[in-house]
Structure 1
Amino acid sequence: MNLQIKNMVCDRCILVVRQLLDGLGLPYRNVQLGTVELAEEPGAERLATLREQLAGLGFELLDDKRTALVNRIKSTLIQLVHHNGSEELNKKLSVYLSETLGKDYHSLSTLFSSVEGVTIEKYVIRQRIERAKELLLYDERSINDIAFDLGYSSVQHLSQQFKKVTGLTPSHFRSLKEHKRTPLDKI
């Protein structure tokens, strides 16, 4: 049985959900961003307990198929931007999503926009800028390297999108004492 879980955005989220499943004695085959594959069908009471405990940790067990698919799209995009290399980011987004999710891109895009109120492309831009903020804060890589890592064609392209989203240039953002990052589940 596959479960869709909203707000799983990082490896720590996966760890926390695994610990919760172990604590509840729910055997699972796989836990990934936004998805849990249970080894067996839990009863209604155990599922209700899981739902309640997930909510206490800031997660949400999704029942609605449309919402669950949007959550899968988001998890796939977060994985793409925050955990894959620039080679994956340089692939055409529509092809990547269609291949990864096994669905027509037009239907994915229409559903995503209707549920989220933003296009998939704008969501990816926000994710890329959030990743750029994180990398800028580490202050270990040049802006040129960050642009390359995030699949931008040039530093200028990154700078233009960064300024459009944040109102700041990457250099100015890096020089600030107080940084404002947005949690991935709030993008």
Structure 2
Amino acid sequence: MSTLYIKNMVCNRCIMVVQNEMDKYGLSVKNIKLGEVTLKKELSNDEKEIVENALIQLGFELIDDKKSRIIEQIKNVIIDLVHHQDSEIKNNLSDVLSNKLHHDYSYLSNLFSEIESTTIEKYFIAQKIERVKELLVYNELSLSEIAFRLNYSSVAYLSNQFKKVTGLTPSHFKQIKEDKRKPLDKV
């Protein structure tokens, strides 16, 4: 077995693209998840180089060093938590990361800050704000429902954090997005 750690795998579509690439080269995948592919057999150096070049063409990158793998795992856990598992967001982030990555949170936090020049918390907030933007654009949930889903203590707190990060209130952001969209019959 061989495990490849892949940078920039951030969504289910990425998983599908990487799976297709592995299939294209006849590589049997045992398991695939965000940032990680476990193959049924070890890759030769030539196979690894072919896969690496193919992934680069698709905007991905193989990660070889341990610290970079941990950083990518932190990002993938946060992305998965915020964008795919709204109910799990109610757990303490430090506990979730420690449990999933099997490292002390202070180690993860210091490593992340050292490599990324930002904190895990700021990265988490940025991902939450991106999720809020996405949900606002879908226009299926009220701001109260979005705040609840993303575990904000109040709509006011969500609005303040949104404005701090984007410079806009959620309602202004939503209005701008609606103004830019044209009905299909007007395109």
TM (norm. structure 2) is 0.93
SS in 2 for 1:5: strand
Once the two structures are superposed, residues 56-114 of structure 1 have per-residue CA deviations (whole angstroms, 9 ceiling, x without a partner) of 0000010111111100110011000000023x111111111001111111101010110
The correspondence of residues 86-105 of structure 1 with structure 2, limited to 5 A, is 86=87, 88-105=88-105
Of structures 1 and 2, the one scoring higher in RCO (CA 8 A, sep 6+) is: 1
Residue matched to 1:171? 171
Residue matched to 2:127? 127
Stretches of structure 1 lacking an aligned partner (at least 5 in a row): 180-187
- 1:4 maps to 2:5: yes
User: Separation in 2 of the partners of 1:92 and 1:140?
Assistant: 27
The correspondence of residues 4-153 of structure 1 with structure 2, limited to 5 A, is 4-86=5-87, 88-153=88-153
User: Separation in 1 of the partners of 2:38 and 2:114?
Assistant: 27
C-alpha root-mean-square deviation of aligned residues, in Å?
1.0
What is the CA-CA distance between 1:3 and the residue it aligns to?
Answer: 1.2
Report % sequence identity.
52
User: Separation in 2 of the partners of 1:96 and 1:71?
Assistant: 15
TM (norm. structure 1) is 0.93
Once the two structures are superposed, residues 23-58 of structure 1 have per-residue CA deviations (whole angstroms, 9 ceiling, x without a partner) of 011111111011111111010000000000000000
Structure 1 residue identity aligned to 2:128? R
SS in 1 for 2:32: strand
Structure 2 residue identity aligned to 1:111? L
What is the CA-CA distance between 1:178 and the residue it aligns to?
Answer: 3.9
What is the CA-CA distance between 1:140 and the residue it aligns to?
Answer: 1.1
Which stretches of structure 1, 4 residues or longer, exceed 2 Å deviation after superposition? Answer: none
